[in-house]
């Protein structure tokens, strides 16, 4: 498009799962491939996993399904929150404070290996396969419902500790081993934890990546309020192939639009959305 064919990068790993290559230590490094799983003692397995599963089912029965909504955070609201880790911390506190039970909280944050593994960062092409894992933040009931700053700091410290290359390779090796045993349950935290899932897509700059302006024949809207140039995205709406009642306490930080405003997508309980709307009113934002 637009005569820029030379800028189209080759697709890598189309036939082979690159994860099996990633888990091997780089040649010439002192890494042995025997790095222990950093969070092994925190793993929710055996009887702990059974307890967590029973509690999760109980919550499904009594709390019902979550609602999916989009959140628009204008620049001025973001200025009050700052950015990055704080948005994840803000989400965690909202979900925790909307739950009347004083439960410990585990925040599961998705980690894109493309930005963490040196060999992937140095490639001359793109990988379209799933190259994501997770990092976990463990919070006490008091901390999870307290000021945003300490929660954000805890998120950053846990993320930094768990995303060194040796530790990422260790968790990926564990995932492969569990897959081969037909056991996909790899979870960490207390059996009575409130589990929060956060996925931050900001670094990918998805709303800026798609540019179909060379294919635009004529402009549609010609209003003064338009913020994006023709052929570019206003925002995106992610969705799963199959809706599930078990999808709960999930927040996707979709990233910034062309004006620097943030867009988020949440799957939260009605009581949590009440809390979200109260916060948004205070910030001058809207759902």
Task: Work out the pLDDT band at 33, boundaries 50, 70, 90.
Answer: low
Residue at 140 is within a domain: yes
* Number of domains comprising the chain: 1
Residue 42 DSSP symbol: G
Residue at 238 is within a domain: yes
* Cβ contact 108:171 at 8 Å: no
Residue at 128 is within a domain: yes
What are 227-264's pLDDT values in tens digits?
788 888 888 887 776 667 778 999 999 998 888 889 99
| CATH number of domain containing 256 | 3.30.559.10
Taking the model in full, what pTM does it have?
A: 0.86
Residue at 7 is within a domain: no
| Continuous H helices in the chain | 19-22, 46-63, 75-81, 85-97, 118-121, 141-144, 148-162, 165-180, 206-209, 270-283
Residue at 91 is within a domain: yes
What are 65-94's pLDDT values in tens digits?
888 998 888 887 776 666 567 889 999 999
Mean pLDDT, rounded, of the chain: 86
Range of the domain at 93: 33-209+230-283
């Amino acid at each position: 498009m637009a005569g820029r064919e030379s800028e189209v990068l080759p697709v890598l790993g189309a036939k082979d799962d690159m994860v099996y290559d990633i888990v091997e230590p780089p040649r010439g490094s002192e890494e042995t491939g025997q790095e222990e799983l950093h969070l092994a003692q925190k793993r929710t397995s055996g009887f702990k996993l059974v307890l967590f599963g029973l509690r999760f089912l109980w919550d499904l029965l009594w709390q019902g399904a979550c609602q999916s909504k989009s959140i628009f955070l204008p620049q001025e609201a973001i200025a009050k929150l700052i950015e990055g880790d704080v948005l994840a911390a803000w989400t965690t506190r909202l979900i925790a404070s909307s739950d009347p039970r004083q439960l410990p909280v585990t925040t599961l944050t998705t980690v894109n290996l493309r930005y963490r593994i040196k060999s992937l960062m140095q490639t001359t092409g793109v990988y379209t396969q799933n190259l994501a894992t997770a990092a976990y933040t463990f919070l006490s009931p008091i901390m999870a419902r307290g000021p945003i700053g300490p929660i954000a700091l805890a998120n950053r410290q846990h993320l930094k500790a768990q995303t060194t290359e040796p530790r990422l390779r260790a968790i990926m090796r564990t995932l492969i081993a569990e897959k081969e045993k037909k056991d996909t349950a790899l979870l960490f935290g207390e059996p009575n934890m409130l589990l929060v899932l956060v996925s931050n897509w900001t670094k990918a700059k998805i709303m800026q990546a798609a540019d179909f302006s060379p294919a635009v024949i004529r402009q549609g809207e010609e209003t003064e309020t338009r913020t994006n140039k023709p052929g570019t995205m206003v925002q995106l709406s992610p969705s799963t192939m199959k809706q599930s009642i078990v999808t709960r306490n999930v927040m996707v930080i979709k990233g910034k639009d062309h004006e620097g405003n943030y867009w988020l997508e949440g799957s939260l309980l009605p009581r949590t959305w009440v809390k979200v709307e109260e916060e948004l009113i205070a910030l001058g934002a809207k759902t």
